[in-house]
Structure 1
Amino acid sequence: MVRIGAHVDQDDPLGQAAERGAEVVQFFLGDPQGWKGPVLPATADAIRASDVDVYIHAPYVINVATANNRIRIPSRKLLAAHLEAAAALGAKGLVVHGGHVGKDDDPQVGFDNWRKVFERMECPIPVLIENTAGGGNAMARKLDRIARLWDALDGFDVGFCLDTCHAHAGGEDLADVVDRVKAITGRIDLIHCNDSRDAFGSGADRHANLGKGTIDPELIVAVCRAAGAPIVVETPGPGQAADIAFLRERLG
């Protein structure tokens, strides 16, 4: 059985998991838009002892691909700190966005910078690179770029997180996206199961509850079924319990 859960606040992950009927939780270890280091929740011991699977999402500000040293170097340090903290919490993986380079930069610079991360960093748990919705020079919006990224990371044990909203908004057809991703990465470690507020190819990262956006909910279910990976809904909180129940009914 595929385990299904939600992105929750870091204050009381287990309590929120119980409220939503979640078997999996994902949360931040600090301000997702800030540069401060991770802080383990007060309930860390209970989280480690629970049967709820945990994933940590790295801050959005991290961009290890960029040619800008003032962003790239702090990004590497923050990523390493979150990886260590996530491992200490017993997390199954650390999710991080693929990042981007400047509009006039050669994308290969970004791919090479990603390789340097894994050459210099120990990974006690998997780093799961997530596809993104927008950005003309993003490393992981389009599958052709993801293929170049995986070529650059050849030889390293790197995981992949597939976000359904991001793929749809990024202009990737969900009908066969699982097969196309697996042909590149060989794996999908986690699904971010989200409807999209905006249209196909819009580039807008705006999540909606399942059936409330622009993606056919049965197509979202088909992606989840084909991937066979743990599922996290990152949808608006009031509808998360219903989203989890919807998925469990169709994937059961």
Structure 2
Amino acid sequence: MRIGAHVDPADPLAEAASRAADAVQFFLSDPQGWKAPNPREDADRLRAAEVDVYVHAPYVVNVATTNNRIRIPSRKLLLGHATGAAGIGAKGLIVHGGHVNAGDDLATGFDNWRKTFAYAAENGGFGVPVLIENTAGGDNACARRLDALARLWDAVGEYDVGFCLDTCHAHAGGEELLDLVDRVKAVTGRIDLIHANNSKDAFNSGRDRHDNLAGGTIDPELLVAVIRAAGAPVIVETPGGADGQGADIAFLREHLGGTTA
């Protein structure tokens, strides 16, 4: 099991070394902006590295929305980041499940997801696995609860889409972690990546605030059980920089039975 962290994009390999991480995740551009990523000068180093690389799409991406001023730029931006991720040898591009506006039919959001994958296929494909991530909040979300996730997978499953399970998002979104892996796999058939995060907030709070693994409102032993059951690579998106994340990586290695390198 490969274990790593979400890091600053300036020098991801140095950040990996400072955490003794097997993997890194980072943004290719401003996560709150609409700019397409530029080619990276360290692309060759990233492709050749023993460290596994994952890219997170900008938070502004929402391909599910019925607002065409957001939906159409979102799918173009997602494709651009997938191209950038492929260029550095990334193992996946993580993107949040998105939502529709209040009063809109959620079915339209699922269909917009289908159209996003069809759009990509018509333009040469994403070139890197796209991993849809469950989200913590919103009554109009496409991937907060498993009943919505099942409808999303009915819409996009034919495109071999991957899934990223965030433990904080599941807890804050109202999904019990006990037996969660089995319930997710019954919907998606797969878990490609774990975002291992504790939660600062209570169950079903709808709030997305990550905490370190031994802190927060989730029993750390339950987090370990979820990660072990999933058997997927792990990225911690926890606070504390290299020290905090390094401690979380060490915690997981200790409780999961040794090093991962």
- The residue number in structure 2 matching 1:242 is 247
- Contact 1:98–1:140 under 8 Å retained in 2: yes
Deviation at 1:120, TM superposition (A): 1.6
Deviation at 1:39, TM superposition (A): 2.4
Write the distance in 1 (CA, Å) between the matches of 2:165 and 2:217: 18
Of 146, 151, 155, the match for 1:152? 155
Deviation at 1:124, TM superposition (A): 1.4
Write the distance in 2 (CA, Å) between the matches of 1:28 and 1:125: 15
Deviation at 1:125, TM superposition (A): 1.3
Write the distance in 2 (CA, Å) between the matches of 1:47 and 1:90: 7
The one-letter amino acid of 1:93's match is G
**1:162 maps to 2:161:** no
**1:203 maps to 2:206:** yes
- The residue number in structure 2 matching 1:28 is 27
- The residue number in structure 2 matching 1:74 is 73
Deviation at 1:152, TM superposition (A): 0.8
Deviations 1:82-117 (A, max 9, x none): 001100110000000000001100000000000001
Write the distance in 1 (CA, Å) between the matches of 2:230 and 2:9: 27
The one-letter amino acid of 2:96's match is H
Of 225, 228, 233, the match for 1:230? 233
Write the distance in 2 (CA, Å) between the matches of 1:242 and 1:220: 15
Write the distance in 2 (CA, Å) between the matches of 1:40 and 1:249: 37
- Contact 1:10–1:41 under 8 Å retained in 2: no
Deviation at 1:153, TM superposition (A): 1.2
Secondary structure at the counterpart of residue 153 of structure 1: helix
- The residue number in structure 2 matching 1:180 is 183
Deviation at 1:203, TM superposition (A): 0.4
- The residue number in structure 2 matching 1:123 is 126
The one-letter amino acid of 2:86's match is A
Deviation at 1:144, TM superposition (A): 0.3
Superposed, 1:58-137 pairs within 5 Å as 58-121=57-120, 122-137=125-140
- The residue number in structure 2 matching 1:42 is 41
| % identical equivalent positions | 71
Q: Which runs of 5+ in 1 are unaligned?
A: none
The one-letter amino acid of 2:70's match is I
TM, length-normalised to structure 2: 0.95
- The residue number in structure 2 matching 1:139 is 142
- Contact 1:11–1:41 under 8 Å retained in 2: no
Secondary structure at the counterpart of residue 154 of structure 1: helix
Moved over 3 A (4+): none
Deviation at 1:41, TM superposition (A): 3.3
Write the distance in 1 (CA, Å) between the matches of 2:38 and 2:20: 26
Write the distance in 1 (CA, Å) between the matches of 2:159 and 2:250: 36
The one-letter amino acid of 1:95's match is I
Of 212, 216, 237, the match for 1:213? 216
Q: Which runs of 5+ in 2 are unaligned?
A: none
The one-letter amino acid of 2:244's match is G
TM, length-normalised to structure 1: 0.98
CA RMSD of aligned residues (A): 0.7
Write the distance in 2 (CA, Å) between the matches of 1:239 and 1:23: 16
